[in-house]
Amino acid sequence: MNIDTLILIFASTVAAATPLILAALGVLVNERAGVLNLGVEGMMLVGAVTGFGVGVTSGSLFLGYVAAMSAGAAMALLFGLLTLTLQTNQVATGLALALFGVGLSAFVGQPFVGLPIERVPAVPIPLLSDIPVLGPALFRYDLLVYLSIALYAAVSWFLYRSSAGLRLRAIGEAPGVAHSLGYPVVRIRYLAVMFGGATSGLAGAYLSTALTPMWVEGMSAGRGWIVLALVVFATWRPLRVLLGAYLFGGVTVLQLHAQGLGVDVPSEFLSMLPYLATIVVLVLICRNPKTILLNQPASLGRSFHPDG
């Protein structure tokens, strides 16, 4: 195994991790505000089909991405309407959103099956990308990869260094107290939920335009659920989300490189690895109840009643 293979494995890991980072950061903000939106899989698929469809029909991937984010945000708005205004059960509504998203994306995406699309172009950073070894490994990705890193920095800064972020975290821990302090709890939760939807939509669009440029029903293959587990595994901290996403990205691409690495296991079992890894990391994090107690936003999943 030579250095080129290593670089290839690293690059494909980064690519596989990018949609996970994008969606997970959105879910992180969402859950930090106290809202549990299980519908990530549905929003991802709707984002994937929207990004692909608009990208193919308009010829502009940028428009596709904007459309995907809008579609994800729209689905999240629907979720918000049901859970924040109409006070429905967050778990059930999230599941409904996921199932609805799967069905809607399959239905809307029918005319796009089998159509080709140009893969999003890589944007090598001038000068830096010419450094041997580090160049191809770090500086020859498409814009969305760089965006995912920038988004991590932005979310980190927002949550921990801005007063708006502090308000959001306060709402996630004690919405009743925040409400009596005059913070617009419901409005901020709406915004958080829609941010989560937009990033999930963008992550889905990355799947269908960059990772595997095509549209297939259900192409996210459970990544939406893995993202939810990822946020738990990261104990709701942005840096751990980033690292965990790379870990999962690596596990996901293992099956592609297994043959090259001389591993002789049936492909179906290799494909099981991301799902097995998800279960394992959940067990590791959840086995001590104090970990969850100390890190989970205290009001996560509970409806907020402004009038008591």
Residue ranges that bind another protein, judged by CB under 8 A:
38, 78, 82, 85-89, 91-93, 95-96, 99-104, 106-107, 110, 217, 221-222, 225, 228-229, 232, 266, 268-269, 271-272, 275-276, 278-279, 282-283, 286-287, 289, 292, 307-308
Q: Which is nearer to another protein, 156 or 208 (CB)?
A: 208
Are 234 and 27 spatial neighbours (Cβ–Cβ below 8 Å)?
no
d(CA 84, CA 130): 50
CB closer to another protein, 1 vs 86: 86
Tokens standing for residue 123? 């944007």
- Tell me the C-alpha to C-alpha distance, in Å, between residue 62 and each of 24, 55, 70, 260: 21, 8, 12, 35
Instruction: Select 61 or 97, whichever has its Cβ closest to another protein.
Output: 97
- Residues 86 and 57: their CA atoms lie apart, in Å, by 37
What dihedral angle (degrees, nearest 10) is formed by the CA atoms of 78, 29, 66, 47?
Answer: -60
- Distance in Å, CB of 276 to another protein, minimum: 7
3-state secondary structure of 142: strand
d(CA 191, CA 186): 9
Shortest Å, Cβ 266 to another protein = 6
CB 32 within 8 A of CB 159: yes
To another protein, the closest distance from the beta carbon of 98 in angstroms equals 9
Shortest Cβ distance from residue 301 to another protein (Å)? Answer: 11
Query: If we measure between CA atoms, which residue out of 59, 78, 81 comes closest to residue 70?
Result: 78
Nearer to another protein, 11 or 232 (CB): 232
Q: To the nearest whole angstrom, how small is the minimum distance from the Cβ of residue 185 to another protein?
A: 13
Pick 84 or 145: Cβ nearer another protein? 84
Nearer to another protein, 91 or 263 (CB): 91
Shortest distance in whole angstroms from residue 239 CB to another protein: 22
